[in-house]
Amino acid sequence: MANQSGNAYALTALFPILHGVPTKCPEGMEGQTHTACVRHLLQDVLRVSEDSPMARVPDTYLSRFCILLDVPYQGAPTVLEHLKSNYLVFEVNFHGTLEPWLAGMWKAIEPEVRSLLQNCYGFDKVTDCASFIDYVKKCQIETTFFFEGSTDEPVAVQLKNLYLKQEFSHFVFANQGKSAAELKAAFEEFVARTQPDNLEAPTWRPGAYQLETATVGRKVMGAGTQ
């Protein structure tokens, strides 16, 4: 089935960006178009990478925003075509089904969603979570291509798994060769500290993309970055 693969859902939505210059725009962007404002928000305001607002949306595997300016021209003899507007492309893979996940997104980052989508056609009709869900569904296109680097588990389980895997490898290196009694004691300490059944904490931080910043309190020195 398109959009759904196991417990993973892939959403692609194309939001048409308004023509012209907004009456209210971000600071420093006076006189710039809606498209420029969207790009400014994506590049400079809604912090990218680890501090992305999308990291706060529950059960999100991966998400990307980009701006589609036009369709590429392949050269003669193909016909030169244009889109009627620019589009804000939103691609996301998440665990679960569409409506509850969108509701979670609205709840977690409504101000950020508003700041972006107020530059898009039809968003002025959105007044609450239900109308936001309707709006996204109107802009949705079928998705058959999924992000590979993820299992079928909820994100919290995956993050805990990664955390435990990393911690367990440290445990193995630290405790190799110990007697059975010492090993048992060390393992009990490990279980008490890492709390394998507790998905809340300790675990990896959602949105982290570097080992060094995934967990607080364990610093791994690299080989130097000069």
Partner 1 sequence: MISELDLEDIQGNIVKAYGRYGFPLARFVFYRVEDAEKGRLFVQRVTPLVTTSAPWSKKLKVDIPAVAINIAFTYEGLKSLDVPTDTLHGFPDEFTMGMKARRAILGDTGPNHYKHWDSIWNHPDDPTAQSVHILIGINGKSDKALDACYQEICGILEQTGGVTQLKGHRGPNGAEDLEFQPANALAGGTEHFGYADGISSPYFEGCGEDPRYIVGGGKPTGQDPASPKGWEPLAAGEFVFGHPDEAGGFPEAPGPPLFSRNGTYLVYRKLHENVGSFNALIEEEGKKFGSKEWFAAKLSGRWRNGAPLVSFPTEEGANRFAAELGMLKGKVHNKTATEAETQRYRELQLKLTAFDYTNDNDGARCPFGSHTRRNNPRSALEFGVKGAFKTPGALSNRRRILRRGLPYGKVEDATRNDGDHGIVMMILNVDLSRQFEFVQEQWINYGNDFKLANDRDPLVGNHGSDENGRGAGRMVIEGDTNKPPYFCSGIPTLVETRGGDYFFVPSMTCLRMIARGLVDPT
Instruction: Note the residues at the interface with partner 1 (CB under 8 A).
Output: 172-173, 176-177, 211, 219-226
Peptide bond just before 202 cis, omega within 30 deg: yes
Q: How far is the CB of 123 from partner 1 (least distance, A)?
A: 42
Q: Which two tokens stand for residue 153?
A: 């588990």
The helix/strand/coil state of 206 is coil
- Compare residues 72 and 222 and give the one whose CB is closer to partner 1: 222
The helix/strand/coil state of 126 is coil
Q: How far is the CB of 224 from partner 1 (least distance, A)?
A: 3
- Compare residues 24 and 165 and give the one whose CB is closer to partner 1: 165
The helix/strand/coil state of 157 is helix
Closest CA to 99 of 206, 4, 205, 207: 4
- Compare residues 48 and 220 and give the one whose CB is closer to partner 1: 220
Q: How far is the CB of 149 from partner 1 (least distance, A)?
A: 12
CA separation for the pair 48, 50 (Å, rounded): 7
Beta bridge partners of 62: 93
- Compare residues 43 and 169 and give the one whose CB is closer to partner 1: 169
How many other C-beta atoms are found inside a 10 Å radius of the C-beta of residue 165? 9
Q: Are 65 and 40 in contact (CB under 8 A)?
A: no
Q: How far is the CB of 180 from partner 1 (least distance, A)?
A: 13
- Compare residues 47 and 170 and give the one whose CB is closer to partner 1: 170
- Compare residues 72 and 224 and give the one whose CB is closer to partner 1: 224
CA separation for the pair 178, 186 (Å, rounded): 9
Q: How far is the CB of 225 from partner 1 (least distance, A)?
A: 6
CA separation for the pair 86, 34 (Å, rounded): 10
Q: How far is the CB of 212 from partner 1 (least distance, A)?
A: 11
